[in-house]
Amino acid sequence: MATGESASPSNFIRNIIDEHNRNGRFGGKVETRFPPEPNGYLHIGHAKSICLNFGLAADYGGVCHLRFDDTNPTKEEQEYLDSIIEDVSWLGFDWGEHLYYASNYFDQLYEFALKLIEGGKAYVDDLSAEEIRAHRGTLTEPGKDSPYRGRSVEENLDLFKRMKAGEFPDGSRVLRAKIDMAHPNLVMRDPTLYRIRRAVHHRTGDKWCIYPMYDFTHCISDSIEGITHSICTLEFEDNRVLYDWVLDQLAIYHPQQIEFARLNLEFAVMSKRKLLELVKGGYVDGWDDPRMLTIRGMRRRGFTPESVRLFCERIGVGKKESWIDMYWLEKAVRDDLNEKAPRVMGVLDPIKVVITNYPEEMEEKFEAPYFPDNPPAMGYRDVPFCRELYIEREDFMEDPPKKFWRMAPGQEVRLRWAYLVTCREVVKDDQGEIVELRCTYDPETRGGWAPDDRKVKGTLHWVSARHGLKAPVRLYDRLFSVANPGAFKDRDYKEFLNPESMVLMPDAVVEPSLAGAAPGSRYQFERKGFFCADPLDSTEGAPVFNRIVTLRDSWAKILDQQKREAARLEREARKTKNKG
């Protein structure tokens, strides 16, 4: 799409851009940037920002830069930088030639600082960090001027140059903007612009011993790159006046900062600190643990880039701090994978079924479509059948409740693509545990079609015991068991880790066609969910599957309703009894 209005759903940022395009503020240009600090791995919250920035640029015919905001060498590492490049690419975005580093602007930034000093708008302060804090005042009281605030331009210039030259120890001096120590917005009470920090920078090495602060760096970087709309999260709202102040003092090109509400996802944590703690503390198996909502974690689990983008598109963007239900993420993967994941059969918790009237030595192959809703186009695979099969343990009930359409004594069900079968006998061990189901099949129902059109409600997935492939399956669920684990003041969020966030199904059996499942390939195990052959743990002929997400389960809902209804009836019965 060329410049101008776009077809995407409206939001307040688009409205601002449209207004700019009407009044010609940026000459119709839209140039955005995604500015991560390379101090951690990207997560789903970053994905929202990435989709926003790259999406806006694409829709308005502009470009989006990838810029590393690397002004704090004590926290930043090449490892993080590499991972960010990989993750943004995986999400499907392309910054072309526009890969930048704030550290590339260190020389220019230094010159701008000199200009500020020359204009009497910045000074070198000898106060310690603690003293500066003490002078800042509080939310309700004004601050006090530093005794060094009145230094001459010449002295400030000299001192700042010597700061750069390495004449002073770390932390002994800072460069501060000279604004207003009584400003109601604390950000404007003479903010620090430069600090002395002898640290090796991942890109500039030991060239510098002074490093610029975010507020000074970000606006100038945006200006240098010709960014039009500098989109950031809500916590920078107070910083916008400083962003504008710096650019105004320097009288250089002035982008528009716009703030939006960051993503909050229920049953997850999003802060870099917490994510790091989960990894370092061994609560998860690394940054790419499939339970982590890092980009790498989701990728390992089996999420598609399209599903993540779909999610970001659907949740929208606004200034209201809201909590998104995990359902939206799950729904987005389901909708995406429903279109592209071939259907196969896998039994997670097997129970053996013997078809007593099926000849011992006989074997058949059924041609089963990969996409039953659109069979011819998408191909078939053969599914072998024999006398001994596995079905899902939960698909049989000896004494079923109402509306249970699955296998029960005497109740005919369909084995998908195979035959109609009826359970005749339940075999139990000494503990009363069911070990085997003995069934009969109707030879007239090959393929699962009844010649007399008799109604069979239930269709079950199954795997031939003789041909099935044993494959470990991991069932992933939300990492936390409460919606907002970080919200409890007196409890640590780690207390709310969900002990069942990963359940291994060691006995799972899948249809033999899956021996050829490529690492990273995704399938729908019919009636169970979407699964991905783990990209790392799967080997040739021996896939290991991750559950990405379950299917919608309306049977579970019915069961739930039945349970609630039963409880209600019981309560009423008790009431009447008490009255009588």
Partner RNA sequence: UGGCCCGUCGUCUAACGGCAGGACAUCAGCCUUUGGAGCUGAUUAUUCAGGUUCGAAUCCUGGCGGGCCAGCCA
Q: Does 66 bind RNA (CB under 7 A)?
A: no
By CB under 7 A, the residues from 271 to 310 that bind RNA are none
Binding residues for RNA, total number by CB under 7 A: 93
Cα(195)–Cα(207) distance, rounded to whole angstroms?
A: 15
Minimum CB distance to RNA, residue 557 (Å): 6
Minimum CB distance to RNA, residue 430 (Å): 30
Stretch that binds RNA, among 110-118, 290-298, 324-332, 508-516 (CB under 7 A): 324-332
Residue whose CB is less far from RNA, 98 or 314: 314
Kindly name the residue from 115, 144, 272, 331 that is annotated as catalytic. Answer: 272
By CB under 7 A, the residues from 444 to 483 that bind RNA are 447-449, 458-459
By CB under 7 A, the residues from 156 to 175 that bind RNA are 170-174
Q: Does 325 bind RNA (CB under 7 A)?
A: yes
In which residue are the tokens 């209201």 written?
320
Question: 422: which 2 tokens?
Answer: 């009826």
Answer whether 508's CB lies under 8 Å from 470's CB: yes
Residue whose CB is less far from RNA, 320 or 571: 320
> What residues are paired with 132 via a beta bridge?
none
Q: Does 237 bind RNA (CB under 7 A)?
A: yes
Extended beta strands in 197-324, E state: 210-212, 229-233, 256-260, 264-265, 323-324
Minimum CB distance to RNA, residue 214 (Å): 3
Stretch that binds RNA, among 66-74, 114-122, 383-391, 504-512 (CB under 7 A): 66-74
Kindly name the residue from 37, 225, 330, 526 that is annotated as catalytic. Answer: 37
Is residue 272 annotated as a catalytic residue, yes or no? Answer: yes
Q: Which of 442, 360, 458 is nearest to 408 (CA)?
A: 458
In which residue are the tokens 């007239």 written?
444
Cα(506)–Cα(528) distance, rounded to whole angstroms?
A: 16
Q: Which of 212, 218, 211 is nearest to 242 (CA)?
A: 218
By CB under 7 A, the residues from 402 to 431 that bind RNA are 403-406, 414, 416-417
Answer whether 233's CB lies under 8 Å from 240's CB: no
Q: Does 553 bind RNA (CB under 7 A)?
A: yes
Q: Which residues, including other chains, have CB under 8 Å from residue 119's CB and lie 6 or more apart?
A: 249
By CB under 7 A, the residues from 4 to 63 that bind RNA are 9-12, 15-16, 18-19, 35, 37
Stretch that binds RNA, among 148-156, 276-284, 285-293, 523-531 (CB under 7 A): 523-531
Q: Which residues, including other chains, have CB under 8 Å from residue 493's CB and lie 6 or more apart?
A: 269, 274, 480, 485, 486
Minimum CB distance to RNA, residue 231 (Å): 13
Binding RNA (rule: CB under 7 A), the pick from 54, 101, 160, 214 is: 214
* Cα 529 to the center of its chain, rounded Å: 19
What helix, strand, coil percent values describe the chain, rounded to 5?
Answer: 35, 25, 40
Stretch that binds RNA, among 53-61, 155-163, 275-283, 333-341 (CB under 7 A): 333-341
Helix or strand run (H / E) with residue 422: strand 420-428
Minimum CB distance to RNA, residue 574 (Å): 26
Question: 460: which 2 tokens?
Answer: 């079950």
Kindly name the residue from 115, 149, 262, 331 that is annotated as catalytic. Answer: 262
